[in-house]
């Protein structure tokens, strides 16, 4: 994952991304089209993954800055109550988009069990039945039995190993999943009681919204003034209406590559392999290839992950330390922590396939009917070669069609635009030359995606 392409958009298990899997597992539950909350920077990726998956939605609320889960859920609750028909008070099923759940039927069953408790005004959290003394999760201690649920006795932080072993043997503790079910109004009432400052800031932010395409933009200034706090600290640890419903569905928040190895199908040598991988005498490893052959000989307990622009090799027991690599990348001014070589845009994607001191080569894909912004550059010229499809090119005052095998040249400082007027994806090679080739050398004059 990268800062601008985090793990919820990755297909780490199966062909669907984690976001798509999250929406897919709602199939057995009667529900309205889901409402998404995401960062402004991720809006086009989220919308595109929903479109590709064929999923309807009720809108995508954009956070101009991250303020943790308590404000995010408040925005959703306010939107749900404002947008509900006949002044309904809908139940909100709050799900993180980056969890793996192996047993969707068990997940759906737990949600159904939780509905009566939520309808009665309780704030339901789902406690994962623990399978090991896990030190990477917070825990929920169950209290009095309430039929198929329990009152919440206590939320506890991530324990050390000895404490986790005690929790596991007691049978009274569940992993804190970060999934919830409650009436929208009840969450807002409890937030008003315990963190009125957060609710006030979110109401002000939602009072001034702007909609474009699928997106609901809240007021940036008001939301930036909101406190940063989780739903656990802001509400769940304080309310006397918290109920925990057990869930045993093969859940994982996939916090590391080793956690993904734990939940993935393994071969006879306990290796997990994805992509083009050959192993000889290798055991207990996670081997993930995106674009090149990975070959291992006689290795054990390794994580090897290859992407187009980077390769990670780590001991499976030390993969948490990848954070220190990210820190070094930031300090040295590199951008691998932020972007993949292949970058998605609302109109399609581009892959930066070669760099030089004064040149860069990109492979560009434009979806049918889409158009890049009308723009110009101060420091570079561009040469476009169409590989397949048809390009409608604005080059200064001239508008031309460029077809397969043809090319056109965009001089430095010339206003230009690229559009795919056809029915198939437009594939083309772009060769940039100039003194500066950064993505911030783009002056947009007009853009259908609201980026000008």
* Residue whose pair of structure tokens reads 């998404």 in the numeric block: 36
Distance CA 389, CA 429 (A): 12
Let me know: does 176 contact 230? Beta carbons within 8 Å: no
User: What are the contacts of 163-166 at 24+ separation with CB within 8 A?
Assistant: 164/133, 164/134, 164/135, 164/139, 165/133
CB-based contacts of 189: which residues, under 8 Å, 6+ apart? Answer: none
The tokens describing 314, both together, are: 């780590």
Distance CA 288, CA 306 (A): 6
Distance CA 37, CA 96 (A): 10
Q: With bands split at pLDDT 50, 70 and 90, how would you rate the model's confidence at 341? A: confident
Distance CA 77, CA 99 (A): 22
The tokens describing 268, both together, are: 């006879």
**Pairwise pLDDT comparison (425 vs 452), residue with the higher score:** 425
Say what the pLDDT of residue 144 is: 96
Residue 398: CB atoms within 10 A of its CB come to 10
Distance CA 224, CA 242 (A): 29
pLDDT exceeds 60 at position 86: no
pLDDT digits (tens, 9 = 90+) for 365-400: 999 999 999 999 999 999 999 999 999 999 999 999
Residue 128: CB atoms within 10 A of its CB come to 26
Up-side HSE of residue 116: CA atoms within 13 Å toward CB? 6
Number of helices (H), then strands (E), belonging to the chain: the values are 11, 29
Distance CA 128, CA 246 (A): 6
DSSP 8-state code for residue 428: E
pLDDT exceeds 90 at position 339: no
Say what the pLDDT of residue 42 is: 92
**Terminal C-alpha separation, the chain:** 28
CB-based contacts of 20: which residues, under 8 Å, 6+ apart? Answer: 49, 50, 52, 53, 55
How does the average pLDDT of the chain come out, rounded? 94
Domains present along the chain, CATH in parentheses: 7-252 (3.90.550.10), 257-322 (no CATH), 342-446 (2.60.120.10)
Q: Residue 381 class from Cβ within 10 Å (0-12 exposed, 13-18 middle, 19+ buried)?
A: middle
Q: Which of 204, 205, 228, 229 is nearest to 217 (CA)?
A: 205
Say what the pLDDT of residue 228 is: 96
Q: With bands split at pLDDT 50, 70 and 90, how would you rate the model's confidence at 349? A: very high
Residue 129: CB atoms within 10 A of its CB come to 14
Strands (E), 114-253: 123-128, 139-145, 150-156, 173-183, 210-212, 215-217, 242-247, 251-252
For 275, list phi and psi in degrees, rounded to 5. 85, -155
pLDDT digits (tens, 9 = 90+) for 317-328: 999 889 899 999
CA 357, distance to chain mean position in Å, is 34
Say what the pLDDT of residue 122 is: 98
Say what the pLDDT of residue 449 is: 83
- Report the percentage of the chain scoring pLDDT > 70: 99
* Residue whose pair of structure tokens reads 């508008």 in the numeric block: 399
Radius of gyration of the chain (CA): 25
Specify the 3-state DSSP secondary structure of 97.
coil
pLDDT exceeds 60 at position 83: no
The tokens describing 342, both together, are: 């292949």
**Pairwise pLDDT comparison (64 vs 12), residue with the higher score:** 64
Specify the 3-state DSSP secondary structure of 435.
coil
Q: Which of 381, 346, 380, 382 is nearest to 365 (CA)?
A: 346
pLDDT exceeds 80 at position 84: no
Distance CA 302, CA 97 (A): 27
Q: Which is it for strands 123-128 and 242-247: parallel, antiparallel or unpaired?
A: parallel
Strands (E), 113-227: 123-128, 139-145, 150-156, 173-183, 210-212, 215-217
Let me know: does 115 contact 181? Beta carbons within 8 Å: yes
Distance CA 222, CA 219 (A): 6
pLDDT digits (tens, 9 = 90+) for 217-249: 999 999 999 999 999 999 999 999 999 999 999
Distances (CA, A) of 63 to 76, 102, 205, 219, 412: 11, 30, 10, 9, 36
Q: With bands split at pLDDT 50, 70 and 90, how would you rate the model's confidence at 44? A: confident
Distance CA 347, CA 157 (A): 43
For 451, list phi and psi in degrees, rounded to 5. -105, 0
Say what the pLDDT of residue 197 is: 97
Distance CA 7, CA 160 (A): 26
Say what the pLDDT of residue 345 is: 87
* Residue whose pair of structure tokens reads 């699928």 in the numeric block: 214
Specify the 3-state DSSP secondary structure of 53.
helix
* Residue whose pair of structure tokens reads 């199966």 in the numeric block: 14
pLDDT digits (tens, 9 = 90+) for 102-147: 999 999 999 999 999 999 999 999 999 999 998 889 999 999 999 9
**Pairwise pLDDT comparison (177 vs 44), residue with the higher score:** 177
């Amino acid at each position: 994952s990268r800062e601008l392409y985090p793990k919820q958009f990755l297909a780490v298990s199966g062909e669907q991304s984690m976001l798509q899997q999250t929406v897919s597992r709602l199939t057995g539950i009667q529900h309205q089209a889901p409402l998404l909350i995401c960062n402004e920077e991720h809006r086009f990726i989220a919308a595109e993954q929903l479109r590709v998956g064929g999923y309807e939605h009720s809108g995508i609320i954009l956070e101009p800055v991250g303020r943790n889960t308590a404000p995010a859920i408040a925005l959703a609750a306010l939107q749900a109550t404002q947008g509900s028909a006949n002044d309904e008070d809908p139940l909100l099923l709050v799900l993180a988009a980056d969890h793996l759940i192996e047993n969707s039927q068990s997940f759906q069953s737990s949600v159904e069990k939780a509905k009566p408790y939520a309808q009665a005004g309780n704030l339901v959290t789902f406690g994962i039945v623990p399978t090991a003394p896990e030190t990477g999760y917070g825990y929920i201690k169950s209290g009095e039995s309430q039929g198929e649920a329990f009152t919440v006795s206590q939320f506890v932080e991530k324990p050390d190993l000895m404490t986790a072993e005690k929790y596991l043997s007691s049978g009274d503790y569940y992993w804190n999943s970060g999934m919830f079910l409650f009436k929208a109004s009840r969450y807002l009432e409890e937030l008003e009681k315990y963190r009125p400052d957060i609710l006030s800031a979110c109401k002000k932010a939602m009072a001034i919204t702007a909609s474009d395409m699928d997106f609901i933009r809240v007021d940036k200034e008001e939301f930036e003034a909101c406190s940063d706090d989780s739903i656990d600290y802001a509400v769940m640890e304080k309310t006397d209406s918290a109920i925990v419903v057990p869930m045993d569905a093969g859940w994982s928040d996939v916090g590391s590559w080793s956690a993904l190895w734990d939940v993935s199908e393994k071969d006879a040598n306990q290796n997990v392999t994805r992509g083009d991988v050959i192993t000889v005498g290798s055991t207990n490893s996670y081997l993930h290839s995106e674009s090149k052959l990975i070959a291992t000989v006689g290795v054990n307990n390794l994580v090897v992950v290859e992407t187009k622009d980077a390769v990670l090799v780590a001991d499976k027991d030390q993969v948490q330390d990848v954070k220190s690599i990210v820190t070094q990348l930031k300090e040295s001014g590199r951008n691998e922590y932020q972007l993949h070589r292949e970058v998605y845009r609302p109109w399609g994607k581009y892959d930066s396939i070669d760099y030089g001191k004064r040149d860069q080569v990109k492979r560009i894909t434009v979806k049918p009917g889409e158009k890049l912004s009308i723009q110009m550059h101060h420091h570079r010229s561009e040469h476009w070669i169409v590989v397949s499809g048809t390009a409608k090119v604005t080059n200064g005052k001239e508008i031309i069609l460029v077809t397969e095998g043809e090319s056109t040249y965009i001089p430095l400082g010339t206003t230009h635009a690229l559009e795919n007027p056809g029915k198939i994806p437009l594939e083309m090679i772009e060769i940039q030359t100039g003194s500066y080739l950064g993505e911030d050398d783009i002056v947009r004059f007009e853009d259908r995606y609201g980026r000008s």
